[in-house]
Structure 1
C-alpha cells in the first residue's frame, strides 16, 4: 500500500484537508476501503487553527515526508511564504521519486519548491494570475481541472481536487477501484483533467425530470461499440445537431465528439484491467474499430500504450 503524507498548516481549511484523507484514506466511509496509508503532518506539529474556527491536533512533523510515496499539499494561505524547511523537504522527496501533489492553492508550494520549473501547473482560476506573477518559472493553467505530469500533479480547488485525487486512485489502483470509490463518495466516476474549471454560461434547468442531454449521454455510453453519428445522437435528444452540440458543450465544457472519445478510452481501460481479451477485441468493443486507432488514442490521452497499461495492473506477464 502506497504511503501518503498530507501537509497541514496553521489556518488550513478543514474541507481542503479532508479531500486527500477522504479519497485516499476513505476516512469516515464505511462502504469503501482505504487504498493508501495516509498520514497528516505539519511543519509545526501540535494544535493548529483552522479557517472554520476550531482547532485540530497534528502529531507528525515533516519527517513524514522522508519516506512517503506521495506528498500532498492540499491548499495554502494567500500571502504565506513557504519556509525553506518545507520546500527542502518537498524537493528531497521529489528527488528520491515521490509524487508531489498540489491541490488548489497548494500549487503555490509546488511552484516555490522548483520541482515544476519549466512545466505546467494548474490552480484555482481565481489565483492563476497571482501564481503566474509570483512564479514565472512555471506555466500556469487556469483552464483545466488538473495537470498530471507523472511526478508532479496539480489541480484546481474544491470539486476539482476531489476529481484529481480520484484520478490518481484510478491511475494507481485501476478503474474498478476508482469507480467503487466514486460511488461511495457520490462523485462522477471520471472527469478528464482537460475539462474546463467552470462553465461561463450554465445550461438552463430542464423543465421536468426528462433531461435530453443526459438521455443522449446514457444512449451513447450504451452504444460505444457502434459508430455514433452526431445527427443520430442529436436525434436521441430530439434536438437539432447545432442545438445539441451547443447544449452539450454548455453542460460538459467539451464537444460531444471529445466526450465520446473520453468515454471510449475509459471503457477500453476498464476492459484492459479486468479481462484478458486481446487489444483488437477491446478496440472493437470500445468503438475504436482497430487496434491501431485504440493505441493511438490511448497513448495520446493517457501517455501509455494499452499493453503497458494492462501490464501495470495485471502483472508483466499480461503485456
Structure 2
C-alpha cells in the first residue's frame, strides 16, 4: 500500500522482477490457503469452531492474494500527494472510475486482513472462558468487519482528485520508457492535506491501532484464563491450546508488522524521509507475503496443526487424538 518499485510504464528490470515475484508469491499463497481450506473442511467435526476460524482466515488470504494478482495496486507518494496505480494487464490502462473501484476493494482487503486477528482473539477468549461462543458470533463479527471495511474504504471516493497536466508531467516526464506522447497508465490522486483526507488518516490510524489493542487485550485475558485451567486439562488438550495460542499469535503479528505498523507510521507522518523507501518496500513485500506466511504457519510450523490438519490431504483417517480439538 506504500511504495512501488518503479513507474508502471517503465521497462526496467526492477519493475519486471518486482511484479514477477509479487505474483509468484501471491499464486503460491492461493494454493497454500486452498490447502488449509480443504484440510479444515475434512477436519471440521474434530476442530469445530477453530476450523471455521482458520477457514475464514484462509478464505480472506485467498481473496487478498487474488486482489494482488488481478489489481496490483501500487502507491507513489510525492510530497502531499499519493498517486495510485493498478499495475496489472487488466487495469493498467483502464478508465479512472474502474481503477478507483478496484483501489477501494484493495483498501477493504487491507482493513479486513488487519482486523481479522481481533475477531480471532475475541472468539478464542470466549471459548476458553467457557462462554460457549457459537458460530453465529463468529460469522456476525466477521460480517460486521467486512461491512465496516467496505463502507470505510469506499468513503475514500471523496478524497480522489481530478488528475492534472502538472501531475502527469511530474509522474512521467523523467521516467525512462514513459513517453508523454503515448497513452500512459491510468493513475488516481489523493491530496493528504485535504480536510476529508485528514479525517480519513485520523480514523485509519485509530482503526488500525484499535485492532492491535483488542488483540493485546484479549490475548492477555486468554493467557490468564489458560494458566488458571492448566491443572484441570489433559496433556493433549494443554498442548493443543498452547499450539493454538502460538498460531493465533503468529497470525496476528503478520498484519501488525506489515500492515498496521508501517501504514500507521506513514499516515501519522512519523517515517523519516530517508527511510520512506525502505519502510514502503518492506510493507509492500510484507503485505504480499503475509497471506502466504499465514498459511505456512498453519500447515507446517505448529506440530499439532501440521499433524492433524495435513492428515486428510494424505487420505488417512484421524482416530487416536480427537481430544486435541475438543477445547470448550
* TM-score relative to the length of structure 2: 0.24
Q: Which has the higher contact order (CA 8 A, sep 6+)?
A: 2
Q: Which has the higher helix share?
A: 2
Structure with bigger strand share is 1
Q: How does the TM-score come out when normalised to structure 1?
A: 0.25
